[in-house]
Amino acid sequence: MKKTYTIAGNWKMNTLSNEATDLAQSIRQQSANSNSNIILIPPFIHIPEIVRIAEKSRVHVGAQNCHYEKKGAYTGEISAEMIAESGCAYVLAGHSERRQYFGETDEIVALKTAAILESGMKPIVCIGETLNERQEGSTLDVIARQFRAFASHIENSLFYKIIIAYEPVWAIGTGLAATHQQAQEVHGFIRNLIISANPIAYIPILYGGSVTDANAAELFAQPDIDGALIGGASLKSDVFCRIISIADNINKELS
Ligand code: PGA
């Protein structure tokens, strides 16, 4: 089956404005003939400029976080509606760094997911187990809990707008990616959770955690891996664009 791969670059708290501009321009140029869905996720402050660079191209822009309330006295926060107005089509929800360093619970992630959908954007909801949880053998329980926490709040008619990123916490920024077998096992499990929650919607499931141009081909060849959420390697335009080409080539072979 032909898939459209989604390749998303989460720049985290990196890039000053000239670096962000250079990175986005280079990715836009190199990916002009891509058949993948490319998403750049810069720090908030660069969003308007990256949206301008991405205009009339294959590249979409996302945000790394949002608040779940529409407006009000929440100093330092940004609402989903503000992000949508700035030209973003996607927002990450529940990245493990938000869960770990900023106390985001499953309930908060569910509220954010709903707010992102309500504002007309697509949430990329991140789920994944810690090293301890994997070693205890509770990976699939954790994934099921994190999935149900947000999925149970989503209206059926909006379900198809979600993207899920499976990101084992132990693989993020460590250089120790999950093997393609480990990733496929969890992706297959998530696929079944999706089918039982909403049999009609096809939801892309991205893998995240130390993806590079060296392991992307093996990961993308798995039946339930529909692309990648990439941190470190998304800051180097050549490496990021090689990962896009790997996805493009699999697509061409399948078509
Ligand atoms: P990494 O980050 O590619 O640097 O491991 C992935 C992520 O945090 O989304």
Six-digit token string for 58: 């294959």
Residue nearest to atom 6 of ligand 1 (CA): 231
pLDDT at 136: 97
Cα distance between residue 104 and residue 107, in whole Å: 8
Report how far residue 205's alpha carbon sits from residue 229's, in angstroms, rounded to the nearest whole number: 10
For residue 212, the ligand 1 atom closest to its alpha carbon is 3
Q: Choose the catalytic residue: 129, 133, 167, 180.
A: 167
Q: Are 30 and 241 in contact (CB under 8 A)?
A: yes
Pocket test for ligand 1, best of 7, 210, 239, 240 (most atoms within 8 A of CB): 210
Q: What is the position in ligand 1's atom list of the atom closest to the CA of 174?
A: 5
Give the tens place of pLDDT for each residue, 190-218. Answer: 999 999 998 888 899 999 999 999 999 99
Residues 6+ apart with CB under 8 A from 181: none
Measured in Å, residue 71 CA sits from the centre of ligand 1 at 30
What CA–CA distance (Å, rounded) separates 77 from 234?
25
CB 211 within 8 A of CB 240: no
Nearest ligand 1 atom to the CA of 210 is 5
User: Which residues of the chain are under the pLDDT cut of 50?
Assistant: none
CA 95 to centroid of ligand 1, rounded, Å: 10
Query: How much is the pLDDT for 201?
Result: 82
Closest ligand 1 atom to 177 CA: 5
How many residues in the chain?
255
Q: What is the pLDDT of residue 255?
A: 64
Q: Alpha-carbon distance 9 to 211, whole Å? A: 11
Q: Output the ligand 1 site: residues, CB below 6 A.
A: 10, 167, 172-173, 208-211, 229-233
Which candidate in 46, 95, 180, 187 is catalytic? Answer: 95
Q: Is 104 designated active site?
A: no
Q: What confidence score (pLDDT) does residue 189 get?
A: 98
Residue 164 is inside which H or E element, if any? Answer: strand 163-166
What is the 216 CA–ligand 1 centroid distance (Å)?
A: 13
153 is known as an active-site residue:
no
